[in-house]
Amino acid sequence: MTATDEPHVLLRTEGRAGFITLNRPRAINALTHPMVLGIDEALTAWERDPAVETVVIDGAGERGLCAGGDIRAIHDDARAGGSASAGFWRDEYRLNARIARFPKPYVAFMDGIVMGGGVGVSAHGSVRIVTERSRVAMPETGIGFVPDVGGTYLLSRAPGELGTHLALTGTPVGAADALLTGLADHVVRSVDLPRLAAELTRAPAHEVLPGFARTPVTPGELADQREWIDACYAADTVETVIDRLLDSGVPEAKEAATTLLGRSPTALKVTLAALRRARRLDSLESVLDMEFRLSCAALSSHDLVEGIRAQVVDKDRDPRWSPPELSAVTDEAVARYFGPPSTGDLGLAAHTP
């Protein structure tokens, strides 16, 4: 069997642990629908297996755990007016909810790049480990999309308006800021992850982690920026957020405003509305139900296809958003994203235990 013939999800059990390895290293382990189903099947088997006490998820290759969903496939499906992406999201979001409620320790090695769907299969786990190499982000507004996989749930619960800043700009964070914003629990040196994995085959996570956990090598940036972030992003509209950023006199705030002005205006307004709603919803399942509506609406939008084209397909980095200005994105256009999709709602909250 050649490397290209290997399954995209590698499963094995050793001692007390079951291991899930995402195995598309050339694509930074971007998730496909079969990969989501494979992870779910493994969790079903191991939930019932008394020999498996801990589940560990990691990514093959040197670049990261997972760069997100397979957005090329989403681009092609959206252009064709298909429904495959909605089916993918339906199963992916169900998996995200399952991970959050998994009855055994679910240990995520969030080493390297962890973005979008990669956050979904890691940051809802019970033991979330980042390293000095971690770059964690929800960068969806840059492709005309909205943070999903429970991203608006996680970011809406970060301290102050830090999550609003990260969701709108898509800024990646390192280990220290992942801890601060609640996206991770522990820092372990990247070089120590194989030894930690070996220890997890012999003993529970809560017993072995103290021997590996470290303080972040590099200090975070967000704690020192809380004052201007909280003041600027507390605004009710994206336009006011940008005005406050530009008027703050803080160089980092001006950089954030410049970033926002390059993002999809529609995606920014929908994301801000989604974050505010997510903050009021009482469960991850309720937020995932909302995000499913947003994702399905985005599938028929101009900006998602155009954003992926510019960033991933043609790589000209020059998306032509429609409408191109924030002022042209109406409240009615934003509200459309929150309506029930033609394929039917996800309905996770209705079945929450």
Is the separation of the CB atoms in 165 and 229 below 8 Å?
Answer: yes
b/e map 6-31, b = 16+ CB within 10 Å: eebbebebeeebbbbbbbbbebbbbb
For tokens 């194989």, the residue is 194
Angle at 40 between CA 187 and CA 200, to 5 degrees: 35
Among residues 157, 218, 206, the alpha carbon closest in space to that of 182 is found at 157
Q: Which residues are catalytic?
A: 69, 117, 140, 148
Spatial separation of the C-alpha atoms in residues 302 and 318, rounded to whole Å: 14
Spatial separation of the C-alpha atoms in residues 244 and 231, rounded to whole Å: 8
Is the separation of the CB atoms in 79 and 305 below 8 Å?
Answer: yes
- Angle between helix axes 251-261 and 238-247 (nearest 10 degrees) is 150
Which residues neighbour 311 within 8 Å (Cβ) at sequence distance 6 or greater? 142, 143, 317, 319
